[in-house]
Amino acid sequence: MEFFRVSKNVYGQETLIGVSWDMVWLFIGAAAVFVIVHIIYKWLFAPAPGIGISGTHND
């Protein structure tokens, strides 16, 4: 499986002409894992809603 597609230019040097679409699933999976881990982190460690920075309450 080729991840990078290359071609020769007029001077005989290899030139990158594209990247294989086979790798797109790797990046989609990595993004999904990042989102899920972020949601779990926020759910476990986020402060309770309604607590302001100043810490004062109007009773």
Q: Answer yes or no: is pLDDT of 59 > 60.
A: no
Q: What is the pTM of this model?
A: 0.54
In the numeric block, the tokens 């759910």 are attached to 43
pLDDT digits (tens, 9 = 90+) for 16-48: 888 888 888 989 999 999 999 999 999 998 876
Q: Please check whether residue 17 lies inside any domain of the structure.
A: yes
Q: Please check whether residue 34 lies inside any domain of the structure.
A: yes
Q: How many domains does the chain have?
A: 1
Spatial distance between the Cα atoms of 23 and 6, rounded to a whole number of angstroms = 16
Q: Please check whether residue 22 lies inside any domain of the structure.
A: yes
How much is the pLDDT for 55? Answer: 55
Q: Which helix (H) or strand (E) holds 34?
A: helix 24-45
Q: Please check whether residue 56 lies inside any domain of the structure.
A: no
How much is the pLDDT for 21? Answer: 84
